[in-house]
Structures are given as structure tokens and as C-alpha cells.
């Protein structure tokens, strides 16, 4: 048999690969190499993206500027409010000092003061601090840090004043130490304990219940007040309600010495209609005092639109709410019915008050301090026989109900105020209320209240009673 011949191997068939066209190769090479056209297109795309984001960035900058301006305005209002409160407290302290000097007692006045810097120093320090802060900390974080640290900063200021006033008072060597509110309480206790002399603490108000104190301020300072106030020999308060509140909080008894007005020997009238550029003979509804928050002044302006045709509303005083109240009167179209008059000197105040028709005390119970307040203006009104319309808070309500010198209204309701004013402005009602106001004012003056203060000092200094004192 012949040998078998193996079959020849079959080559696999491979499809021929076509060469790419020259145009496609050139296009691929152009797309991969960064030529001038590609760079220009990329720059245009970036520019378009920036232009699209520009309005959003401008709006963000505007919002930031609005927030900064808002904070600056709030800071300015707080500074003005603090200045008004400081001036009022200074006047009260100096008034009491003059009364003590009439009795032959020496008095040392210690007023808290911060170190002053020149305008250039303030600007330079402000620029440096602002540049460092704004470059490192976001505004919201900074605001949060300030809110947390503000109570500690307030504590530091109090502590500094307590240390300085203690050193000065110890060098002076008083026979009796008389402190006012928490600001003077701690240093007075130190001095009284070191010298072994009596300590009288005067509570003008519920100090820590004022609107400017936060919950953290109250938590930190209330412990100090509770510890120190119990060491005072005598505690005086301005009304019965505040005395009951201190008894409830701290378990201390108190003596009520109200801030009644002095009985004037002669009142020289100074017509408020001339000061407010009003026609002679019109009825004037008067508010006198600080233009501050929590006193229901917006509701008073709104009620001015519902007054009788012959009645006008006059604000006598100054304060941080003045521009806002003027704008509110303009918005309501009451520029002719609501007038604002600058404050007058204290020795002329009763003469101006006596020429009004009705006095308003519109405090709102927005805080416990406001709710239990007994403002000096109620006694100034009553001393000159001015009928009053007061808000429904305990101490003001007690005076009106006991004396019949006016009407009570809801301090949050302008309609309630306008109705009460319209009733008091009726001739018969006004005459009866004016007679009751004058009788109450003449029976409750500072001459009567100071006898209680004399009794307190006499008991502490082991002196006999003074002539005319009521024991």
C-alpha cells in the first residue's frame, strides 16, 4: 500500500484592514494637540461661566453688606439706649446725694466709667481687629462666639467696677454704706464688712429682669445677687410688688420707699402747646419720659388717630425710638396730630406737665421688671393734678383704683387706649379725675417718703427720731 499523503494546512482567512482616510487622521491629530483655536474656545467657556456666576456673587456681597449695616445700626441703638440709661441713673444718684447733703451727711458717689480712647485709636484698633477677624472667621461663627462670650465680658466689667469702688470707698471710711442695685451691691458689702458699718441696699427695680439681660446673664449674676443681698442690714424697694418678689426669691424683708415727686413750693407754668406749636386751648395728651422699647409707645401713636378732633398727642423726651415713632406717625398720616418735643430741664418739668390735659403711662408687661414697675412720671402727673390713663399693670392699677384719678387700659390694644382717653377727656370725668389726682399727689410726696428713709438711718446710727418723722 502506498503511503498516505497528509493534507496541506489551510491558512486562516483574515479580512484586510483598510487604512484610515487621511482627513480623519488629520482631524484626530488636531483634536489632541492644543492649538490656538482650542485655547481660545476654552478661555471663552471660562469667561461665560464667570459671567454667569457674577450676579450671584454680587447678590452675596450685597447681602453681606446689608447684614453688616444692620449690625452697625443695632449697635448704635444699643449705645444710645445705654447712654440714656446711664444718664438717668446718674441723675437719680445725684438727686439722692443732694438730699443727703441737705441733712448734713457726706456722700461718696461712685459711677462706673470705662477707659476712654481717642477717635484715632478707636478707628485704628477697629480696622486692625476687623481685618484680622473677617479674614479668619466666618461672620456667623463670629456672631455665635460673641453671644457666648458676652455674659463673661459683662461679668468682667462688673468685677472691675466692684474692685475699684471697694478700694476708693475703703479709703474714704464711710459711717454707712448705701448701694443701688446689683452694680453697687458687691462692693458695698465688702466695704461694710471690712469697716464694720451698716449697709443699706436700695433696689430701684428688678435689676436682672430688664430687657437687655439674656438668660445666661441672669443665670450668672443671680447667684451673686442672692449671696450678697442677704448680708445687707436694710433693703429698700420702690413699691410693694418688688418687695414681695425679693421676699419670694431671696427670703429677705424690705422697706418700701417710693420715688414720689417733690412737693413744689411754686409751679411756674410753661405752656406745652407753645413748645409743640399747637393752637391755644386744645387738649393735650402727654407722654413724658424716655422713648424706649417695652413702653407701648407704638400703640400710643396708633391711638392718636382716634382722638377727638380737639385733642393732640405730645411726646416729651428723647430716646432710641424717636426716629421710629416719627416714621410711624408719618406712615399713618398723623404728623399734625402727634408732636415730639425735646426734653426740658428738671426744674421746668412740672411747670410744663401742669399745662397738659391728660397724662399717659403706657408700660407693657413684656418683662417682670416692666410688669412690676412704678414709674416716677405717675407721681409727677398726680402732683400737679393731671388725670392719667395707665396700662393694666399691678402698681399703676392699684393707684388708679384707690384714688379714682383716671382710667386703665390694655397696653397692647390701641383701641382700648383711644376709648379710655376719649372718656377722660369728657369735661365732667376730667374734672373729677383731676381733683382726685391732685388730692393723691399732695398726700404722697417725697417729703413723706424721706421720713421713712430718715427712720432707717436713725435706727442704724442709734440716733433719736427727727422732728416730723412718722414712726
Distance from C-alpha of 309 to C-alpha of 299, rounded to nearest angstrom = 19
Host domain of residue 240: 138-256
Entry pTM: 0.65
Of the candidates 365, 22, 272, 184, the residue with the CA atom closest to the CA atom of residue 30: 22
Asked whether residue 31 is domain-assigned, the answer is no
Give the list of residues 6+ apart from residue 420 with CB closer than 8 angstroms, or none.
389, 407, 408, 409
Whether 211 and 173 share a structural domain: yes
Instruction: Indicate if 283 and 418 belong to the same structural domain.
Output: yes
CA distance 60 to 54: 10
Q: Which residues are CB-neighbours of 128 under 8 A, at least 6 positions away? A: none
**Alpha helix (H) residue ranges in 335-383:** 346-353, 368-371, 376-383
Q: Do residues 203 and 283 share a domain?
A: no
Q: 189-224 pLDDT, tens per residue?
A: 999 999 999 999 999 888 888 877 777 778 888 888
Provide the terminal-to-terminal Cα distance of the chain, rounded to the nearest Å: 161
- Asked if residue 293 and residue 438 are part of one domain, the reply reads yes
pLDDT confidence bin for 118, thresholds 50/70/90: low
| For range 50-65, the mean pLDDT | 75
Cell numbers 407753645 label which residue?
Answer: 274
Q: Are residues 353 and 416 in the same domain?
A: yes
Number of domains in the chain: 2
Residues 234 and 351 grouped into a single domain: no
Report how far residue 291's alpha carbon sits from residue 338's, in angstroms, rounded to the nearest whole number: 14
In a domain, 329, yes or no: yes
Q: Same domain for 424 and 306? A: yes
Report angle CA 63, 65, 67 to the nearest 5 degrees: 70
User: Residue 16 has what pLDDT?
Assistant: 47
Which CATH number covers residue 301? 3.40.50.2000
In a domain, 112, yes or no: no
Query: Does any domain span residue 12?
Result: no
pLDDT(378) > 80: yes
Contact (CB, 8 A) for 178 and 255: no
Q: Cβ(232)–Cβ(189) under 8 Å?
A: yes
Helix and strand counts by DSSP (H, E) for the chain: 17, 10
220, 248: one domain: yes
Mean pLDDT of 249-277: 89
Mean pLDDT on 408-427: 93
Q: Are residues 434 and 292 in the same domain?
A: yes
Amino acid at each position: 500500500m502506498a503511503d498516505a499523503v497528509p493534507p496541506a494546512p489551510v491558512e486562516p482567512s483574515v479580512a484586510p484592514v483598510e487604512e484610515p482616510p487621511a482627513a480623519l487622521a488629520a482631524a484626530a491629530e488636531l483634536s489632541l494637540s492644543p492649538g490656538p483655536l482650542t485655547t481660545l474656545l476654552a478661555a471663552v467657556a471660562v469667561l461665560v461661566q464667570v459671567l454667569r456666576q457674577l450676579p450671584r456673587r454680587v447678590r452675596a456681597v450685597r447681602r453681606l453688606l446689608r447684614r453688616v449695616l444692620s449690625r452697625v445700626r443695632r449697635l448704635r441703638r444699643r449705645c444710645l439706649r445705654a447712654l440714656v440709661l446711664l444718664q438717668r441713673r446718674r441723675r437719680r444718684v445725684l438727686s439722692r446725694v443732694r438730699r443727703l447733703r441737705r441733712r448734713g451727711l457726706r456722700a461718696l458717689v461712685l459711677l462706673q466709667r470705662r477707659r476712654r480712647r481717642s477717635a484715632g485709636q478707636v478707628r485704628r484698633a477697629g480696622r486692625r481687629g476687623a481685618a484680622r477677624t473677617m479674614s479668619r472667621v466666618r461672620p456667623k461663627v463670629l456672631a455665635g462666639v460673641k453671644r457666648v462670650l458676652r455674659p463673661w465680658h459683662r461679668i468682667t466689667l462688673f468685677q472691675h467696677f466692684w474692685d475699684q469702688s471697694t478700694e476708693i470707698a475703703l479709703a474714704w471710711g464711710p459711717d454707712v454704706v448705701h448701694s443701688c442695685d446689683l452694680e453697687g451691691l458687691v462692693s458695698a458689702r465688702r466695704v461694710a464688712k471690712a469697716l464694720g458699718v451698716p449697709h443699706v441696699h436700695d433696689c430701684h427695680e428688678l435689676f436682672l429682669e430688664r430687657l437687655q439681660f439674656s438668660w445666661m446673664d441672669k443665670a450668672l449674676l443671680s447667684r451673686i445677687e442672692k449671696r450678697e443681698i442677704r448680708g445687707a442690714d436694710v433693703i429698700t424697694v420702690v413699691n410693694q410688688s418688688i418687695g414681695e418678689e425679693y421676699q419670694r426669691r431671696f427670703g429677705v424683708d424690705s422697706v418700701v420707699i417710693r420715688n414720689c415727686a417733690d412737693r413744689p413750693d411754686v409751679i411756674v407754668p410753661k405752656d406745652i402747646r407753645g413748645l409743640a406749636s399747637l393752637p391755644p386751648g386744645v387738649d393735650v395728651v402727654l407722654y413724658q419720659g424716655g422713648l424706649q422699647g417695652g413702653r407701648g409707645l407704638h400703640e400710643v401713636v396708633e391711638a392718636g388717630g382716634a382722638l377727638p378732633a380737639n385733642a393732640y398727642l405730645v411726646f416729651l423726651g428723647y430716646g432710641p425710638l424717636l426716629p421710629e415713632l416719627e416714621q410711624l406717625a408719618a406712615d399713618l398720616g398723623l404728623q399734625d396730630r402727634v408732636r415730639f418735643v425735646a426734653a426740658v430741664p428738671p426744674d421746668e418739668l412740672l411747670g410744663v406737665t401742669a399745662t397738659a390735659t391728660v397724662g399717659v403711662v403706657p408700660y407693657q408687661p413684656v418683662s417682670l421688671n416692666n410688669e412690676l414697675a412704678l414709674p416716677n412720671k405717675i407721681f409727677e402727673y398726680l402732683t400737679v393734678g393731671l388725670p392719667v390713663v395707665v396700662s393694666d399693670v399691678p402698681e399703676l392699677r392699684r393707684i388708679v383704683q384707690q384714688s379714682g384719678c383716671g382710667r386703665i387700659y390694655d397696653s397692647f390694644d390701641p383701641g382700648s387706649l383711644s376709648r379710655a382717653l376719649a372718656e377722660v377727656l369728657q369735661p365732667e370725668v376730667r374734672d373729677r379725675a383731676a381733683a382726685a389726682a391732685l388730692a393723691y399727689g399732695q398726700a404722697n410726696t417725697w417729703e413723706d417718703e424721706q421720713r421713712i428713709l430718715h427712720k432707717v438711718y436713725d435706727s442704724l446710727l442709734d440716733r433719736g427720731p427727727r422732728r416730723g418723722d412718722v414712726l
